């Protein structure tokens, strides 16, 4: 596994980081205040209350290192929808929304994301400028031209935002023993015994030790040599070469510990995820309630049996939950052996075929979301019988249950929806689920939701 894990750790509060934390919340507030002045709206206490709520919802900001303006646009809009959605819902529920100027609210809703996006573009351009780089640039060397050291060097070179100038590797092995396609000979500065003298002569700011944990004697000897320097020293543990899920550094009563498998929804992320689920699910249920009624009538008229199909699934932490769907078959499978639906399955009713193709049979699961059993986006829940089968043959299968199952997921929008008649297809789906856990962000959730809407009208694998 490449060194691409999302490692959570304490960051030095640099001016750059402080700007990133304050940029979005301050711009949202400044835009509101500017509109108040423009439309001659008095600064009454209710606006101070709103500003406080805005800051609490948007701080410390959600900066995106997007690869393109389009990616950043999606990031800004998704977070703005979340923040503005909570404010509007709260204002509507309490009746305070009517006390605010409509013209200010409407202009604020469309001007704010534009202002934030432009600020992101401007600030990104500034931190990539030569003037900024020369001001913040620090020199760094890496001890060990290992796979981990090579990936660390690549980060230094490709992410100018880090402000790190790579000076070279210190390695005891000869160049012929290294990966010549990844390491150039002129990048090898010298052997480990020369490091202490080199950092003194060249005023090196940072040393990153990327040696295997089995090299403890060499590491201890190296640290002893470096005691006579003022260079900052960091140890990069090689556990990050393994397949980690939400790796992070924490402590237990002052003893540092490293998480190698953890849910992405702990702490503030969990609050953001659950809040967005509740807001979106409530809005969707309100909007589609007439459709729910018509579908219920259609199911009832299509065949004998209950309107809702209830099936036991594995939920958060592997606990069994009851998942709702509109019944699309003439039978209900929920035992020790569950047969997946196949194309032209004679168990599916004509009306059931329609609601399965359009995914309308999934709509009752928004009530599961409101109950806290499911999330809008997450790994799709499998029947208990399937879980018991595949957990024995697919490594890491149960890790997907460290989060709530979703109505839609990363696997489903990547062509892995429908029948999984082979272990290889199920493994591909699980790989997508685990990748979702590693890479989760609110932006990724919004992308999955938008892709799901598109698939509802275009997916030919639904049946």
pTM of the predicted model as reported, rounded to 2 decimal places: 0.61
**pLDDT of 341:** 54
**Could you tell me which of 180, 182, 187 has the C-alpha nearest to residue 143?**
187
**Cβ-count burial of 257 within 10 angstroms (0-12 exposed, 13-18 middle, 19+ buried)?**
exposed
Residue 346 clears pLDDT 80, i.e. is over it: no
**What DSSP line would sit under 424-462, residue for residue?**
HHHHHHHHHHHHHHHH--HHHHHHHHHHHHHHHHH-SS-
In degrees, rounded to 5, the angle at the alpha carbon of residue 338 between the alpha carbons of residues 332 and 340 is 90
Residue predicted with more confidence, 408 or 346:
408
Average pLDDT over residues 93-110: 86
Chain-centroid distance, C-alpha 374: 17
Average pLDDT over residues 142-171: 85
pLDDT in tens, 377-407: 999 988 788 788 888 888 888 888 889 999 9
pLDDT in tens, 178-210: 876 788 888 999 999 899 899 889 888 899 988
**What DSSP line would sit under 85-120, residue for residue?**
HHHHHHHHHHTGGGGS-HHHHHHHHHHHHHHHHHHH
Prior bond of 293 cis (ω within 30°): no
């Amino acid at each position: 596994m490449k060194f691409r894990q999302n490692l959570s750790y304490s960051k030095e509060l640099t001016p750059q980081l402080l700007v990133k934390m304050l940029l979005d919340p301050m711009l949202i507030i400044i835009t509101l205040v500017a509109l108040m002045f423009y439309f001659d709206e008095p600064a009454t206490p209710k606006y101070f209350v709103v500003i406080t709520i805005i800051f609490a919802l948007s701080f410390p900001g959600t900066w995106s290192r997007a690869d393109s303006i389009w990616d950043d646009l999606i990031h800004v809009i998704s977070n703005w929808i979340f923040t503005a959605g909570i404010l509007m819902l709260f204002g509507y529920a309490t009746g305070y929304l009517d006390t605010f100027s409509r013209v200010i609210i409407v202009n604020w809703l469309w001007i704010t994301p534009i202002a934030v996006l432009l600020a992101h573009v401007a600030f990104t351009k500034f931190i990539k400028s030569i003037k900024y780089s020369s001001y913040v640039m620090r020199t760094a060397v890496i001890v060990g031209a290992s796979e981990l050291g090579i990936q660390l060097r690549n980060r230094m070179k490709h992410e100018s935002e880090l402000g790190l100038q790579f000076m070279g590797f210190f390695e005891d092995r000869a160049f012929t023993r290294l990966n010549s396609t990844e390491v150039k000979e002129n990048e090898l500065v010298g052997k480990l015994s020369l490091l202490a003298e080199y950092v003194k002569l060249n005023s090196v700011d940072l040393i990153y030790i990327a040696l295997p944990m089995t090299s403890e004697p060499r590491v201890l000897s190296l640290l002893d040599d470096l005691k006579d320097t003022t260079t900052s020293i960091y140890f990069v543990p090689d556990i990050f070469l393994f397949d980690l899920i939400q790796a992070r550094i924490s402590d237990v009563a002052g003893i540092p510990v490293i998480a190698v498998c953890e849910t992405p929804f702990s702490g503030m992320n969990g609050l953001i995820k659950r809040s967005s689920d509740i807001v979106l699910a409530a809005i969707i249920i309100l909007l589609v309630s007439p459709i729910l009624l018509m579908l219920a009538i259609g199911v009832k008229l299509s065949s004998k049996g209950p309107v809702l199909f209830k099936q036991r699934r594995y939920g958060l932490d592997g606990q069994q939950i009851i998942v709702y769907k509109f019944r699309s078959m003439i039978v209900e499978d929920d035992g020790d052996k569950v047969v997946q639906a196949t194309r032209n399955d004679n168990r599916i009713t004509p009306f059931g075929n329609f609601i399965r193709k359009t995914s309308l049979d999934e709509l009752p699961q928004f009530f599961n979301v409101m109950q806290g059993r499911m999330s809008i986006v997450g790994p799709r829940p499998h029947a208990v019988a399937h879980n018991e089968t595949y957990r024995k043959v697919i490594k890491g299968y149960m890790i997907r249950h460290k989060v709530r199952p979703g109505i839609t997921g990363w696997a489903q929008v990547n062509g892995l929806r429908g029948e999984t008649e082979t272990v290889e297809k199920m493994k591909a789906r699980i790989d997508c689920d685990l990748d979702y856990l590693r890479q989760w962000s609110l932006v990724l959730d919004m992308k999955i939701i938008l892709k799901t809407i598109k698939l509802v009208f275009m997916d030919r694998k639904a049946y």
